[in-house]
Amino acid sequence: MKIKIDGIEVDVISGETILEAARRAGIHIPTLCYHEAFGGQGICRMCIVEVKEGNRTRLVASCTYPVNGEIEVKTSTPEIERIRRNIVMLLYRRAPNSEFMKKLYEEYGRPGDITPSDPEESCIMCRLCVRACEKVGANAISAVLRGTEKRVSTPYDEPSPDCIGCCACAQVCPTGTIRVSTMPGKYEIWNKAFEMDRCESCSRPFVPQVILEHVRSKLGPDFTEEHLCPDCRKKKTGKIIADSHLSK
Amino acid sequence: MAGDAQQAAALQEMERIIVRYPAERRYILAIMQDLQKKFNYLPKEGLQMTARHVNAPMSTVYSMATFYKAFSLVPKGRVNFKVCDGTACHIKGSQVLINEIYQCLGIKPGETTPDGEFSLETVNCLGACAIAPVLVANQKVYAKVTPAAVREIIKEHGGQINEPAVNE
């Protein structure tokens, strides 16, 4: 099936989202809550596009809109740009305290020129962290409360028994809101401390036991019991490869 | 210990409520409504039990519990004040009543006094706009409430008032 995005003909697989089709064709659509690994969430609305089906046009979130027929898509119109500027303005007003948001606010020409409500806040509520936690299989964090008070946290803001300390949430966070405080041999995230096990070869602390257990439960018998840090594992693998070549 | 026995009974009651529902995620809300009805709030153990029963993460259940205003995560007081903050009551001064309750008891909407006697919540409309502003103490409805009346209502329900400086 073919659709037109900004006048360019793009091949799409039925059911694929407009955003996916556009990205594949190298057409840029701005996003905040989208990540290839998770698919569209339809939260931030930055990816809004105009869809023309027959004589009817409407605005849709391209990250969640599946292509099922002949459509024409425009990724930028004055109306769409106005909506995007508005989103950036509101997000900056909520959470100005990150390089990411500051840059975005400048990029969109400082829309609204408003005073942020809390200069320290940095979370833009994209919920990529929640999706990351879900994908890892821990499900320790979620969006709590509602409306202007809404935020991401663990139940009761307490250290969650479900958190395995993988830090995927912190890694995926675009604004660096989720903090991991590292100390010698351990680290803390979501108010929970994780003691790291030592590498059996170089005795450097490298991973907490809970993560190993989690991976073991996911991989089952495929999980090797070797207790090596990434460096030592690399060395060992390198040696195996080298040896196998030398013996030939 | 009486406390332990009470706690055990409460846990049993939660269990009884929860297992009435099939172990499916779509029943989370219904279970929480029943828990809220029985306990006047959602006990933490109840939510954990619900999560285990329907095989959902605790974070999901907690997210739902905090989303709805109808659910409370803190125990309600012996006397629960509902101050109507619908349009009519709002214009007729419901905020003044809320302030007066704060002055007298030191609680804001959603809070409970440390002794567990009183709690306060705002509701959006009780459908009695003709008698605005309306206050409901447990099941009893008070019409056209004034700050002075608030003090009387608190006393009527056995409350001690922190006498503020505004004694006329």
Domain count, chain A: 2
Whole-number pLDDT of residue A8: 93
pLDDT tens-place string over residues B114-136: 988 999 999 989 999 999 999 99
Phi/psi at A152 (5° precision): -100, 130
Q: Tell me the average pLDDT of chain B.
A: 91
- Residue A163's domain comprises 128-242
Closest approach of chain B CAs to the CA of A49, in angstroms?
A: 30
Which of A139, A145, A162 lies at the smallest CB-CB distance from B66?
A145
Contact criterion met (CB below 8 Å) for A119 and A96? yes
Residue keyed to tokens 């619908």? B86
- Check pLDDT > 70 for residue A134: yes
User: CB of A95 within 8 A of CB of A122?
Assistant: yes
* Statement to judge: residues B140 and B120 lie in one domain: yes
Question: Which chain A residue's Cα is nearest to B64?
Answer: A144
The pLDDT > 70 percentage for chain A reads 99
* Cβ within 8 Å, pair B62-A146: no
Q: Does A156 touch chain B (CB under 8 A)?
A: yes
Residues from chain B that touch A158, judged by Cβ atoms under 8 A, are none
pLDDT at B168: 44
Question: Is the separation of the CB atoms in A135 and A111 below 8 Å?
Answer: no
Dump pLDDT digits (tens) for A193-232: 999 999 988 999 989 989 988 988 888 877 776 788 889 9
Task: Give yes or no for residue A114 having a pLDDT over 90.
Answer: no
pLDDT in tens, A39-61: 999 999 999 999 999 899 999 99
* Cis before B133 (ω within 30): yes
Assess if residue B167 is contained within a domain: no
Asked if the model's pLDDT at residue A113 lies above 90, the reply is no
B102 and B61 within one domain: no
Across residues B8-21, what is the average pLDDT?
95
CA A21 to chain centre: 19
B40 and B85 together in one domain? no
Same domain, A237 and A132: yes
Residue A177's identity, in one-letter code, is: T
Domains in chain B: how many in total?
2
Reply yes or no on whether the pLDDT at B167 is more than 50.
no
Is 0.90 surpassed by the pTM of this model? no
Mean pLDDT of A80-97: 95
pLDDT of residue B160: 78
Contacts 24+ apart (CB under 8 A), A117-122: A117/A93, A118/A94, A121/A94, A121/A95, A121/A96, A121/A97, A122/A95, A122/A96, A122/A97, A122/A98, A122/A175, A122/A176, A122/A177
| Nearest CA-CA distance, residue A147 and chain B, Å | 9
Do the domain assignments include residue B132? yes
Report CB contact under 8 Å: B62, A155: yes
Q: Which residues constitute the domain of residue B101? A: 79-156
Find tokens 């172990």 and name the residue.
B23
CA distances from A21 to A6, A9, A49, A98 (A): 12, 10, 13, 30
Q: Do A143 and B44 lie within an 8 Å CB cutoff?
A: no
Model confidence over B47-97: pLDDT tens digits? 999 999 999 999 999 999 999 988 989 888 889 999 999 999 999 999 999
